[in-house]
Chains A and B, each alone.
Chain A
């Protein structure tokens, strides 16, 4: 038994070992550079992180960004999942809407920022719009692919047994497409979280992206690095959350590591 426990702890130990080497190298380079604005020591960054956490500023901005992302993903999913289901089921609708999607999709959410700034101004609406847009396409495409991937025989079987079309959708298509829907949601969250920083950096009076830029202007590099770290940690936690959600909803599906 202790051996098994040791094996479970091994990845953690390896992680700590690698990161320890990273921090030591960083500390040496920081000392050698001798410029606390260009490259503060890891200890200075850690101190700033503790300070920011203590007066809750860190969590305030993190909460704002996270809240915006939740709203964006909810809106994005609410638009994309029904549309994706309909497009996956109806070839006519797919032929009608798909070209428009393919025209818009290559235009990244970030490219919308100047126009959106003009329409929404600086505030909550801009990041939410950009993030919703960024999250929409992965969710839509994943839903369509999921619906297309449903085993025809399941639908035919249900139809043979006289199940009405609406029940087929809710009881056969949706459950069968759920695993790829969860993967799509995961990609959507990742893409939306990438957009939050850019959107807040340019056009929001609060949030993690704003905080990073604010402290850069003050040349407070330890604080800049603290917020950057928070962006990473929160992004990682979001991914972990969606994966847990996927395991909860679709325990039969295998956890897949996305390609991006």
Chain B
């Protein structure tokens, strides 16, 4: 349908398509917010969170520096765990994708542990490393490892066979072939793996901190997950919990966008 036909459908009014789309997009969220505000106020319950109180809670939490600090603490754990996963996962994936013998021997191990959710090993991580940062980092690394390995293997296997044969014909040693042929060709797949892993890692850190908060009696490990649990269990501040939820969503969104932008800049030839 072209522009003219679309305008015709709106009864001859010259309506800007973008404005209509924006209005439609805002309609439902705004309507729900208003409904929530009205309903929440009508209940006359101090505990009932309403949008206006959520906003004041957000200003409080950001202004006092509590929320940014908690987010930074969680992020630092995510980056540490993510780095561990990438440093192990990418080379291992490249080797598995390039050498059939490596894949044959390692793949059973990867496939056996992959269905075990990262949170499931949290009790073991607490047992081995306590309730502090190292246990959280272990969970994040475990969660991020699998998307990275699997996508790297797929990328390394997807390298154009002609390129590999050309490299072999020119007498390139296998390891050098990996560095000069396989890595550049597999880069987009590795990028996808890293991006998925980052999302998974962020979910895992929130879960790990929440569970540590819940099970270790708020034992001072910090992070946004723990902060949410404290608001639930000790001070019962639902407005603040909702602020934290929004922050969790925003950080996830920003991380994803940043990684997408980084991929686009570093690999302009791929169309994501």
Contacts and interface: CB of A to CB of B under 8 A. Distances in A.
Contact of B115 (A18, A103, A239): A239
B191 to A, nearest CB: 12
Contact of B25 (A98, A107, A108, A194): A98
B98 interface: no
Contact of A232 (B112, B122, B196, B256): B112
A231 B120 contact: yes
Contacts of A105: 249
Contacts of B210: 110, 113-114, 198, 202
Interface stretch (B34-42, B81-89, B175-183, B236-244): B236-244
Interface in A117-151: 117-118
B81 to A, nearest CB: 16
Nearest to A16: B108
A14 B105 contact: yes
Given A194-B119, A228-B120, A110 B112 contact: no
Contacts of A197: 117, 119-120
B123 A259 contact: no
Given A97-B28, A111-B244, A202-B211, A106 B252 contact: yes
A259 B116 contact: no
B150 A259 contact: yes
Interface string B213-251: 011000000000000110110001010011011101110
B25 A19 contact: no
A257 B153 CA distance: 12
B206 interface: yes
Contacts, number: 161
Contact of A37 (B28, B116, B127, B248): B127
Contacts of B192: 259
Tier of interface size on chain A: 35 or more
A202 B151 CA distance: 31
Given A15-B108, A18-B108, A260-B200, A107 B29 contact: no
A19 B108 contact: yes
Contacts of B211: 198, 201-202
A225 B229 CA distance: 26
A112 B203 CA distance: 11
Interface string A222-254: 001100110111011001000000000000000
B119 A198 contact: yes
A111 B245 contact: yes
A160 interface: no
Contacts of A193: 117
Interface string B44-68: 0000000000000000000000000
B15 interface: no
Given A108-B203, A111-B228, A197-B120, A96 B109 contact: no
Interface string A28-47: 00000000011000000000
A233 B24 CA distance: 45
Given A18-B108, A106-B253, A114-B244, 18 more contacts: A19-B108, A38-B127, A103-B29, A106-B248, A107-B245, A108-B252, A110-B206, A111-B248, A111-B249, A115-B245, A118-B232, A194-B119, A197-B120, A208-B120, A209-B120, A224-B123, A228-B121, A235-B115
Chain A to chain B: the 4 pairs with minimum beta-carbon distance, closest first: A235-B115, A216-B123, A114-B232, A232-B116
8 contacts: A96-B24, A97-B28, A99-B26, A106-B248, A111-B248, A118-B232, A118-B241, A202-B215
Interface of A: 14-15, 17-19, 22, 37-38, 92, 95-100, 103-108, 110-115, 117-118, 193-194, 196-198, 201-202, 208-209, 212-213, 215-217, 219, 221, 224-225, 228-229, 231-233, 235-236, 239, 257, 259-260
